[in-house]
Amino acid sequence: MPIRYLDAEAVRQAEAATGDLLTGGTLMRRASAGVAAVILRELRRTGGCYGRRVGIVVGAGDNGGDALHAGAVLARRGVACTAVLLAPEKAHQGGLAAYRNAGGRIDDALPEGLDLVIDGVVGIGGRGPLRQGAAAVFARLTPAESGGPLIVSVDLPSGVDADTGVVHDPAVRASITVTFGVPRNAHLLAAPACGRVEVVDIGISADAVTSNADAAPRLSSLTDAEVARCWPVPSPSDDKYSQGVVGVIAGSARYPGAAILATGAAVTATSGMTRYVGTAADEVVSHYPEVVAARTLDDVGRVQAWVVGPGAGTDDDALTVLRALLGTDLPVLVDADGLTVVAEHPELVVGRTAPTLLTPHAGEFARLAGAEVGADRLQAVADLATRWRVTVLLKGRITLVADPTGAVLGNDAGGSWAATAGAGDVLSGIAGALLAAGLPPQLAGAAAARVHAHAADLASRGAPIGASNLLGAVRPAIRDLRDTLSAG
């Protein structure tokens, strides 16, 4: 099953559904024990627990209570704990009593030489940036990558919005985030600020959430195993046609790069057939002789899905081609120049009943939607997809793929090595091949994004890459994901 993420209201519903576990304090005890367990494991990994030094930044309410109860567990294990209470009069009294009884210290400032700092300032109810007092405490810390303490955030890094993933300034940047039961939207949408996310089972479930909470965009992500299982592989009875024939219209004789990258990615992604239509036919075939090339739509054979737009121009001829393709009942992926044409002629895709996948970056999205993406990328992409009744893949470090119902599949690339010219052409070719193989648009987009991101990581190995390097790593990336099935 996909990993499901909840917004703040849905988390509250799931907690409330536990009844006495919430009101009796059991959930807090389980949560704080989980935070302490993650920290103890991290301390053991880096030299043991006894005598290590941990700071705790404590806000008002339950988030601070979780941090204080976790500090009590650590103190009983011989960890020297020092807590800073940002609002002493509002500190969680039960957590404060447990912390003091365990021998934890209270001070006005964090001492030097800490191994780790717990961020217990605010949780899912927090809004906006860190307040002045909290910001001053964290500003004095040396970043972990420069030899400072690891920061472990309770539930969410403070200053990060739980629903939208907006990282305010200032905000905590966590090394590890420990959350409870079900991950929150921000754990995907603000992944760089969250660090490694550890989900602790405390007895709450997304199954308890009612339909009212689902009025907001519903965010999920695929596991590697799910991507591997949906990837088309030939069966004994398959032939080149049954595995999917994708047509690519991209590039030009003057600018053949987009054609080569998109077509090459389609060839690499599946074992079916790739047809190319356009003026860069000679260049494409010289790189990929297995491609069946034609110069006009009149000369192309049958296809089962189309990729159109990368480097293909925005003139009247491009409009004519788009109108012809989008007037069929075949799946169509529109990218790059094709999106510019669609932005001027939205009637080409709005309400189209055949599968339609639009793959904009932020600038292209703004032209399509008539407004900037804004801070809430999740709501923006869901709104456009539901309004136009198409599937929209919004590119970025966190790629979001929204379907016409408002459901969104997200993918964290884990880095930005794929932010290079031509990388989008590769993504289009991969996703188009998956459409031709029969995958629905949202699944095709999300699976392609996962392979694309892994290919960029394989190609880079910590050094800059170009789109050609990324394309060369697509096949190993697919193999790695397929290997998760046998490893599992």
**97 marked as binding residue:** no
**32 marked as binding residue:** no
**Tokens 């405390």 found at:** 202
Beta bridge partners of residue 358, listed in sequence order: 334, 392
**56 marked as binding residue:** no
**Between the CA of residue 438 and those of 104, 222, 356, 434, what are the distances in Å?**
59, 18, 13, 7
For 12-42, the DSSP string reads HHHHHTTTHHHHTTHHHHHHHHHHHHHHHHH
**65 marked as binding residue:** yes
**397 marked as binding residue:** yes
**462 marked as binding residue:** no
**18 marked as binding residue:** no
Q: 2: which DSSP letter? A: P
**410 marked as binding residue:** no
Lookup: tokens for 80: 């020297």
Q: What whole-number distance in Å separates Cα of residue 374 and Cα of residue 379?
A: 9
Beta strand 398-402 with 407-412: parallel, antiparallel or unpaired?
Answer: antiparallel
Residues in the chain: 488
**317 marked as binding residue:** no
10 Å Cβ neighbour count for 44?
11
Q: What whole-number distance in Å separates Cα of residue 448 and Cα of residue 454?
A: 10
**Tokens 């309770």 found at:** 154
**282 marked as binding residue:** no
**Tokens 């925005």 found at:** 314
**Between the CA of residue 235 and those of 240, 243, 482, what are the distances in Å?**
11, 9, 15
**101 marked as binding residue:** no
10 Å Cβ neighbour count for 476?
13
**Long-range CB contact pairs, 18-26, < 8 A, 24+:** 18/203, 18/204, 18/208, 21/203, 25/94, 26/203
**128 marked as binding residue:** yes
**161 marked as binding residue:** no
Peptide bond into 88 cis (omega under 30): no
| Residue 60 CA neighbour count, 13 Å, CB half | 8
**399 marked as binding residue:** yes
**165 marked as binding residue:** no
**158 marked as binding residue:** yes
**398 marked as binding residue:** yes
**299 marked as binding residue:** no
For 402-414, the DSSP string reads E-TTSEEEEEE-S
**460 marked as binding residue:** no
Beta strand 398-402 with 391-394: parallel, antiparallel or unpaired?
Answer: antiparallel
| Residue 143 CA neighbour count, 13 Å, CB half | 5
Helix-then-strand count for the chain, H and E: 19, 18
**123 marked as binding residue:** yes
**214 marked as binding residue:** no
Please enumerate, by residue number, every residue annotated as part of a binding site for (6S)-NADPHX.
Answer: 62-66, 123-129, 155, 258, 311, 361, 425
Q: Which residues are annotated as a binding site?
A: 62-66, 119, 123-129, 155, 158, 258, 311, 361, 395-399, 424-425
Q: Which residues are annotated as a binding site for AMP?
A: 395-399, 424
Give binding residues for K(+) as ranges: 63, 119, 158
